[in-house]
Structure 1
């Protein structure tokens, strides 16, 4: 026999409501309970990012991620009309480090590298995170199920928002201040008009 208990009086025939975990997305509600809500807060998408074991800097990147409360795999819940999770962009920048940017992975920077990753590192690195197609790949869900369609619509909105955010970032690349410029300013090697100061011996 199924029964419910309530701390308040309920009249016979009166409609009652059950709260299903406020943190669940429509996809989770559909899987767990077979329905979705029209609340846009439920339209979210979980992005899974991972440090590849084939990355030549795998050990350094994993160490940095773990020092900052993340791991080899990180999950980020992106909610429609909400900003991206605060650690998502630094983690993406970490994943995309390579080439001449790899100096930042040295042990010398280990305690400060995450702070540097919260700001643009280099034009190449920033362009890499904006063009990461893995963020927007998603299989189409079956159109035969009404619930699945509802989930798909919500996820599509969130994925479109992610795509728009990175397209906008890509348009702003030329106007960003990168690590090299910030470091030269900190060392007093840039004049007021932005030119590098060379010291004569």
Structure 2
């Protein structure tokens, strides 16, 4: 159902008209003008302290609402589920899947929605890793992000296959894997999470404003009206903003890996975000699995650990070196086997963790090196970084990853030399 504008007595108003043409209830003949997304956003917003370019109209204090919508009309699963059910009749969809299907249905005419202008304004191509070619994904080899991208693509494909089986015939023609992946990408890059009331929500207008990891505004669930009974979804000033200042929306992520995965961007001037998550664990197929699990549990440690290492900008920071030593200690235990397995016996149980602080044997150290240099994204990655690879990474926006990989390699080599067997 489209929104149309009424131009007649000099007073602009909104009315609903099924085909977007014809007359409203006014006695005068009127000229009908279809509203743009900008008109729709500002006609439906409760608070409008920001213009369409993201500039603050008037100075506001921190905590003031810049743009807000009633929660009852927000682009959220609870609001669109009735419309979606009218064409899909599928039960038990999770919120993300439901919104993804709704986006497709609106974009390709299966549903006539109040959000049509907004959906039509969304970009058709997204520069996110899940849309990269296999050749482009090779630029990420050596980082844990490569395997994450592959696993997400597999998950989306499997999820699509399950959903497709439950869809009615006439809708199946419009729901393709490419379109479903596009919808998931839109939600990755534009949606906000506002628990507990809204697990995921899109905020038209605000999601097109500039973003930063330290902006001057945030999206929140707010309350208003008498006794706070009105629930809203709002873009709220996170600092004092002066008239004419650019409103920048804060997007949070723990590392450049997550920024690249979710938003297709990296911050090259932020060393604190240049980080790699290293995931290691005890394999269930390990013949000494039970013994190693018992030792880790006695140390109040998990059988699978995640370590985060940040780039050092050519400096060996003490806290990072301590973490690398802890990683080596953990891996020595995980890789313990063969002639060294006697250390897992009960008589050494209270001391074995301390033993792992130093090299156990050449064989054990070799296994640790192999595990930490795994090619499948579980370790530090390959140390062979050619000039061509550097140029490719730079041109694809992945220079940060390359610098980090070099830095981690240098640190691990330094750690080996400092405790060399000679």
TM-score of the superposed pair, with normalisation by structure 2: 0.35
Moved more, 91-100 or 117-126: 117-126
CA 61–153 in structure 1, closer or farther in 2 if over 3 Å, else same:
farther
1:125 aligns with 2:364: yes
Matched position secondary structure for 2:307: strand
Shift of 1:18: 4.8
2:281 to 24, 31, 50: 50
Instruction: Assess if the C-alpha contact under 8 Å between 2:278 and 2:380 holds in 1.
Output: no
**Residues 34-58 of structure 1: per-residue CA shift (max 9 Å, x gap):** 4321202111111111211221111
| RMSD (Å) for aligned C-alpha atoms | 3.0
CA 168–131 in structure 1, closer or farther in 2 if over 3 Å, else same:
farther
Instruction: Assess if the C-alpha contact under 8 Å between 1:47 and 1:77 holds in 2.
Output: yes
Aligned counterpart, 1:36: 266
1:69 to 297, 300, 312: 300
Instruction: Assess if the C-alpha contact under 8 Å between 2:335 and 2:368 holds in 1.
Output: yes
Matched position secondary structure for 1:173: coil
Aligned counterpart, 2:420: 173
**Residues 88-140 of structure 1: per-residue CA shift (max 9 Å, x gap):** 111111122112211111122222221221222223322332343312347x9
Q: Any stretches of 5+ residues in structure 1 without a counterpart?
A: 176-201
**Residues 145-195 of structure 1: per-residue CA shift (max 9 Å, x gap):** x8xx43x332332232332233334444225xxxxxxxxxxxxxxxxxxxx
Aligned counterpart, 1:163: 409
Matched position secondary structure for 2:305: strand
Instruction: Assess if the C-alpha contact under 8 Å between 1:26 and 1:37 holds in 2.
Output: yes
In structure 1, C-alpha distance between the alignment counterparts of 2:400 and 2:380, rounded to whole Å: 14
More strand per residue: 2
2:349 to 110, 113, 134: 110
Shift of 1:70: 2.8
1:98 aligns with 2:337: yes
In structure 1, C-alpha distance between the alignment counterparts of 2:291 and 2:366, rounded to whole Å: 22
TM-score of the superposed pair, with normalisation by structure 1: 0.68
Instruction: Assess if the C-alpha contact under 8 Å between 1:44 and 1:154 holds in 2.
Output: no
In structure 2, C-alpha distance between the alignment counterparts of 1:62 and 1:121, rounded to whole Å: 19
1:87 to 288, 307, 326: 326
Moved more, 29-38 or 101-110: 29-38
Instruction: Assess if the C-alpha contact under 8 Å between 1:48 and 1:74 holds in 2.
Output: yes
Aligned counterpart, 1:12: 243
In structure 1, C-alpha distance between the alignment counterparts of 2:360 and 2:264, rounded to whole Å: 44
Instruction: Assess if the C-alpha contact under 8 Å between 1:96 and 1:125 holds in 2.
Output: yes
CA 68–17 in structure 1, closer or farther in 2 if over 3 Å, else same:
farther
Matched position secondary structure for 1:69: coil
CA 162–68 in structure 1, closer or farther in 2 if over 3 Å, else same:
farther
Q: Any stretches of 5+ residues in structure 2 without a counterpart?
A: 1-44, 46-66, 68-233, 383-388
Shift of 1:17: 4.9
CA 65–18 in structure 1, closer or farther in 2 if over 3 Å, else same:
farther
Instruction: Assess if the C-alpha contact under 8 Å between 1:80 and 1:158 holds in 2.
Output: yes
In structure 1, C-alpha distance between the alignment counterparts of 2:326 and 2:349, rounded to whole Å: 17
Shift of 1:8: 5.0
